[in-house]
Amino acid sequence: MQFDIITLFPDFFTSPLQSGLLAKALERDIARVNLVNLRDFAHDKHRRVDDEPYGGGVGMLLKPEPIFEAIESLATLPPREILLMTPQGEPLNQALLKTWASSYQQLILICGHYEGVDERVCQHLVTREVSLGDFVLTCGEIPALAIINGVTRLLPGTVGKAESLKLESFEAGLLDYPQYTRPPVFRGWQVPPVLRSGNHQDIADWRYQQQLHRTKERRPDLWQKWLEEQD
**Residue 194 counted as an annotated binding residue:** no
- pLDDT tens across 103-123, in order? 999 999 999 988 899 999 999
Distances (CA, A) of 209 to 14, 45, 203: 42, 63, 10
Mind spelling out the 3-state secondary structure of 123-188? HHCCCEEEECCCCCCCCCHHHHHHHHHHHHCCCCCCCCCHHHHHCCCCCCCCCCCCCCCCCCEECC
**Residue 130 counted as an annotated binding residue:** no
Question: 3.40.1280.10, 3.30.1360.170, 1.10.8.190, 2.60.40.420: which CATH number matches 2-152?
Answer: 3.40.1280.10
Question: 3.50.50.60, 3.30.460.10, 1.10.1270.20, 1.10.340.70: which CATH number matches 167-230?
Answer: 1.10.1270.20
Neighbours of 95 (CB within 10 A): 10
Confidence of residue 172 (pLDDT cuts 50, 70, 90): confident
Cβ proximity of 1 and 30 under 8 Å: yes
**Residue 136 counted as an annotated binding residue:** yes
Rounded Cα gap, residues 48 and 62, in angstroms = 9
Contacts of 137 (CB under 8 A, 6+ apart): 87, 143
**Residue 126 counted as an annotated binding residue:** no
**Residue 165 counted as an annotated binding residue:** no
Judge if the upstream peptide bond of residue 79 is cis by omega within 30 degrees of 0. yes
| Mean pLDDT over the full length of the chain | 94
**Residue 125 counted as an annotated binding residue:** no
Rounded Cα gap, residues 41 and 85, in angstroms = 19
**pTM for this structure?**
0.88
How much is the pLDDT for 57?
87
Start and end residues for every CATH 3.40.1280.10 domain found in the chain: 2-152
Rounded Cα gap, residues 127 and 80, in angstroms = 9
**Residue 135 counted as an annotated binding residue:** yes
Start and end residues for every CATH 1.10.1270.20 domain found in the chain: 167-230
- pLDDT tens across 74-85, in order? 999 999 999 999
